[in-house]
Chains A and B, each alone.
Chain A
Amino acid sequence: MALEDICGFQDTPLHRKCFPASHFEDTAISFDCYSAEFRGLKKSGRDSGIPLQFFLPSLPNSSPFNHRSTSHFSPSKHSVTVRRPFPLSHGTTTLGFIFQGGVIAAADTRASAGGLVACPAVHKITPIHSHLVVTSSGSGADCMLWERILAREIRLYQLRHRRCLSICGTAKLLSFMLHPFKGTDVCVALTLCGWDKEAGNTDSSFITDNSSSAGFSSQDVSAIAYPSSPNRGPKLIYVCSDGARLQGDVFSVGSGSPYAYGVLDGRLRWNLSKDEAVSLAREAVFRATHRDAYSGNNVDLFHVTAQGWSRRKREELKEEYYRDMERRTKTVGERKRETALDALG
């Protein structure tokens, strides 16, 4: 995808006929070659790097209308929603948090469709580049697509500008790409967990951008002490398809997120060791999968540091459940023995 763009490869109808599968996203455009404005937009899409071809479903009957024409990147056609064949439930537990040793991202691996476990071994955490992973929740298909789009855009930026886009910039780009789909059935809630390798691009002195805040240092006093350069170091940003973009220290997303917050809020501190942080994340996902019917099976764990991301072996939570049961019966047994001894002594 990215290579095609950077080479300026023109997708011709002949090519499309010979290789129909290779450009699935471009087939939509073949139906509507009449509007010059659209073609202009397609070209501008290639120049600016925004994948406009994804915005245009093949609907010959839909009439184009003025869809936020002020925005340079807006689609020229309203994307009509397709009715779902069965109810999709957004069952997931994903979480991410920042601590002294970097960023931890953890998620379960169950994909549910209504009451059915569609797949017990899905990857909900995807690396985008060496220092950024993204956890996904919401509709599986949408997440997969948007992760791929994001990876492509980040790679294109890197090739064009010879530096990595900052995590904040990545989140903003994703948020603006998702904005035209607000109000449709696109359901994507991603948490970008990454490490900014270099000092980010500073805006003009007029407004300092800090994920759309007024730019004053209004961080909570009890918040974590960040490294001296505010644009370097670990970052955690939540981006949602209804437009929310939040930077923070801990986020949990999905149907199991309240349960995960319950575990995280009690034990999360800045100066956890790496092992403690990993075990906290595992525990949070485990407790959430226990209570939430739509989360379960395994837990995936990624750790992002200045050196990049590293992945922990996928762990089955069934074993963890039995270990937990054993631990409980053991402590109950010990307490019984102690009280028996006290009663005797």
Chain B
Amino acid sequence: MEYLVGIQGPDFVLVAADNVAASSIIQMKHDQDKMFKLSEKILLLCVGEAGDTAQFAEYIQKNLQLYKMRNGYELSPSAAANFTRKNLADYLRSRTPYHVNLLLAGYDETDGPGLYYMDYLSSLSKAPFAAHGYGAYLTLSILDQHYKPDLTREEAVDLLKKCIEELRKRFIMNLPSFTVRLIDKEGIHDLEKLSSGAK
């Protein structure tokens, strides 16, 4: 029922997440922020089981903060993604696995932008674009069709709008608004919240 999407450009990563926090059939919140800031240029988008999302994401967030305090510099997005994956994998075969699906988006000084797809079985993959949730079934073909490795920021936002329009049209759940953020060498920027039109 939740939706995450990420699109990587030549020097930026664009990510969006829906804003609904639901409990069975009721929407309890319409302005839930599902993105967790791991460092100045890394965002973790986290969806999944009710308590696991916040618990796991905050655990990763605080550990990365601790790393910065101890060592004086931040982890790179690739290192952060692998650290997250390792934690998820360690818990997977314990009595208390975390059921969360993640997108990690970041910008590295040397490697450039990166988008990492991780699912609840702790499989990790660096991808040019990715999506989570039932909405992914509807939008991945749109991303496949229109994505180019050298797309500009405007083109990326247009592609995102196409995806959201498709969700509005065909997805059974009403997802009224989406938080959109862009990461580039300057850091994390809030973009305008995208609304699907249906309130």
**Nearest chain A CB to B28's CB is how many angstroms away?**
6
Given A67-B95, A206-B68, A220-B177, A243–B26 Cβ distance below 8 Å?
Answer: no
The reply to whether A78 and B50 contact each other, CB–CB distance below 8 Å, is: no
- Nearest residue in A to B43 (C-beta to C-beta)? A214
Q: Taking the complex as formed, is B122 at the interface, i.e. its CB lies under 8 A from any CB of chain A?
A: no
Number of cross-chain contacts by CB at 8 Å:
84
- Nearest residue in B to A220 (C-beta to C-beta)? B31
Q: Residue-by-residue, is B1-41 near A (CB-CB < 8 Å gives 1, otherwise 0)?
A: 00000000000000000010101011011111101110000
The reply to whether A213 and B50 contact each other, CB–CB distance below 8 Å, is: no
The reply to whether B57 and A212 contact each other, CB–CB distance below 8 Å, is: yes
Chain B residues contacting A118 (CB-CB under 8 Å) are none
Q: Taking the complex as formed, is B196 at the interface, i.e. its CB lies under 8 A from any CB of chain A?
A: no
With the chains together, A216 CA to B180 CA distance in Å?
12
CB-contact partner of A242 in B25, B51, B68, under 8 A: B51
Q: Taking the complex as formed, is B155 at the interface, i.e. its CB lies under 8 A from any CB of chain A?
A: no
CB-contact partner of A65 in B33, B36, B95, B181, under 8 A: B95
Given A207-B61, A244-B50, A216–B25 Cβ distance below 8 Å?
Answer: no
Chain A residues contacting B190 (CB-CB under 8 Å) are 216, 218
The reply to whether B58 and A248 contact each other, CB–CB distance below 8 Å, is: no
Q: Taking the complex as formed, is B96 at the interface, i.e. its CB lies under 8 A from any CB of chain A?
A: yes
- Nearest residue in B to A244 (C-beta to C-beta)? B50
Q: Taking the complex as formed, is B110 at the interface, i.e. its CB lies under 8 A from any CB of chain A?
A: no
Q: Taking the complex as formed, is B125 at the interface, i.e. its CB lies under 8 A from any CB of chain A?
A: no
With the chains together, A206 CA to B96 CA distance in Å?
30
Chain A residues contacting B31 (CB-CB under 8 Å) are 218-220, 223
Chain B residues contacting A261 (CB-CB under 8 Å) are 26
Interface size class of B (residues with CB under 8 A): 35 or more
Chain B residues contacting A206 (CB-CB under 8 Å) are 65, 68
With the chains together, A209 CA to B43 CA distance in Å?
15
Quick one: which of A204, A214, A258 has the most chain B CB within 10 A? Answer: A214
Q: Taking the complex as formed, is A314 at the interface, i.e. its CB lies under 8 A from any CB of chain B?
A: no
Q: Residue-by-residue, is A200-224 near B (CB-CB < 8 Å gives 1, otherwise 0)?
A: 0000101100001111101111010
The reply to whether B21 and A246 contact each other, CB–CB distance below 8 Å, is: yes
Q: Taking the complex as formed, is A240 at the interface, i.e. its CB lies under 8 A from any CB of chain B?
A: yes
**Nearest chain B CB to A264's CB is how many angstroms away?**
12
With the chains together, A160 CA to B167 CA distance in Å?
51
CB-contact partner of B50 in A220, A240, A251, under 8 A: A240
Chain B residues contacting A175 (CB-CB under 8 Å) are 51, 54
The reply to whether A214 and B35 contact each other, CB–CB distance below 8 Å, is: yes
The reply to whether B33 and A66 contact each other, CB–CB distance below 8 Å, is: no
Q: Residue-by-residue, is A227-262 near B (CB-CB < 8 Å gives 1, otherwise 0)?
A: 000000000001010111110100100000110010
Q: Residue-by-residue, is A279-309 near B (CB-CB < 8 Å gives 1, otherwise 0)?
A: 0000000000000000000000000000000
Within 8 A of A (CB), among B177-198: 177, 179, 181, 190, 193
With the chains together, A334 CA to B52 CA distance in Å?
57
The reply to whether B94 and A66 contact each other, CB–CB distance below 8 Å, is: yes
With the chains together, A183 CA to B177 CA distance in Å?
31
With the chains together, A180 CA to B31 CA distance in Å?
28
Chain B residues contacting A243 (CB-CB under 8 Å) are 49-52, 54-55
The reply to whether A68 and B96 contact each other, CB–CB distance below 8 Å, is: yes
With the chains together, A183 CA to B31 CA distance in Å?
27
Q: Taking the complex as formed, is A23 at the interface, i.e. its CB lies under 8 A from any CB of chain B?
A: no
The reply to whether B50 and A258 contact each other, CB–CB distance below 8 Å, is: no
Q: Taking the complex as formed, is A182 at the interface, i.e. its CB lies under 8 A from any CB of chain B?
A: yes
With the chains together, A257 CA to B23 CA distance in Å?
11
With the chains together, A66 CA to B96 CA distance in Å?
10
**Nearest chain B CB to A146's CB is how many angstroms away?**
15
Within 8 A of A (CB), among B42-81: 43, 49-52, 54-55, 57-58, 61, 65, 68
With the chains together, A258 CA to B25 CA distance in Å?
9
Quick one: which of B36, B50, B65, B179 has the most chain A CB within 10 A? Answer: B50
The reply to whether A183 and B96 contact each other, CB–CB distance below 8 Å, is: yes
Instruction: Please give the residue numbers on chain B whose beta carbons come within 8 Å of chain A beta carbons, in ascending order.
Output: 19, 21, 23, 25-26, 28-33, 35-37, 43, 49-52, 54-55, 57-58, 61, 65, 68, 91, 94-96, 177, 179, 181, 190, 193
* 10 nearest A-B pairs in the assembled complex, by CB-CB distance: A243-B51, A213-B33, A220-B31, A244-B50, A212-B54, A214-B37, A214-B35, A242-B50, A218-B33, A248-B29
Instruction: Please give the residue numbers on chain A whose beta carbons come within 8 Å of chain B beta carbons, in ascending order.
Output: 65-68, 78, 175, 179, 182-183, 204, 206-207, 212-216, 218-221, 223, 238, 240, 242-246, 248, 251, 257-258, 261
List 16 additional A-B contacts (Cβ < 8 Å) besides A182-B96, A220-B31, A244-B23: A67-B94, A67-B96, A78-B95, A175-B51, A179-B55, A183-B96, A212-B54, A213-B33, A213-B36, A214-B37, A218-B33, A218-B179, A218-B193, A220-B19, A220-B177, A258-B26
